[in-house]
Amino acid sequence: KKEDMTMIKTSPQMCRLRDFTYSAPIYVDIVYWKGTYSQKKRQVEIGHMPVMLRSNLCVLSGKSEAEMMEYGECPYDPGGYFIVKGVERVLMMQEQPLANRITVELDSKKILQAACTSQSVDNKSRTVVCLNPLARKKGLYLKHSAFVDLVPVAVVMKAMGVQSDMEIVQMVGLEKKYLDNLMTSLQEVHERNIFSQKSALDFLSTKLKTKDSRKQPKDGDVLQVLLRQLLSQ
């Protein structure tokens, strides 16, 4: 279709030379009601879609080498791309993990972990709950780019306002397979004398990354990380 919206028969080579988009119109049949009467319109044009070269809709489909040369094309061109405003374009597939979904996976050391890539308009972060291979006892730890080291999950939950150990257990699960690792994390909390939200925030402030190493992070800085970065959504 030209700029004045008139339809013309074209070829890929013509579109390259004249900066056209090699496309085909999209037609639909429309039925609409006016009072108690219906009316049908056939072949209503609603838009255009780029045509892939050498696809069934392309003029080059099924053409011999000699015919390809007549159209100004290389006979060995496999097609599979588009021409948009005279420029050849290729669609590339990209595999990307789903945001805001928890995935269970093995890390580089073949240790099981639960990861969540959270994304919002302002932030994007990756939060991981894992076992610490260097710890004496296998408890649950949180790994996040905002902290310089792994931090016990129970400490993070207390910093978020969940101060009762029983409440933490109920949130995680009462099954033995969950309790074994969780109880280790809770035991570490007691060994560090972390029994309140304030003491949990004080502990996390020592693990928080800062741009200025001379400045000691405050509890408010930790709260902002927990609220805005830990799970960004």
| Distance between CA atoms of residues 138 and 130, nearest Å | 9
- Decide the pairing of beta strands 87-89 and 140-143: unpaired
Q: Is residue 216 classed as helix, strand or coil in its secondary structure? A: coil
Q: Of the ranges 19-23, 95-99, 114-118, 204-208, which is most confident? A: 19-23
What b/e string do you get for 108-117 counting C-beta neighbours within 10 Å, with b at 16 or more?
eeeeebebbb
List every span in the chain annotated with CATH 3.90.1110.10: 102-228
Q: Is the dihedral of CA 203, 205, 209, 214 positive or negative?
A: negative
pLDDT, tens digit (0-9, with 9 covering 90-100), for 147-181: 888 888 888 889 888 888 888 888 888 888 778 77
pLDDT of 138 higher than 80: no
Q: What is the predicted pLDDT for the residue at 129?
A: 87
Looking at every residue in the chain, the average pLDDT score rounds to: 84
Was domain 102-228 assigned CATH 1.10.510.10?
no
Out of 8-22, 36-50, 168-182, which region has the weakest mean confidence (pLDDT)? 168-182
**Which residues fall within 8 angstroms of residue 3, CB to CB, at 6 or more apart?**
none
Percentage of the residues of the chain whose pLDDT score is greater than 90: 28
pLDDT, tens digit (0-9, with 9 covering 90-100), for 1-11: 555 555 667 89
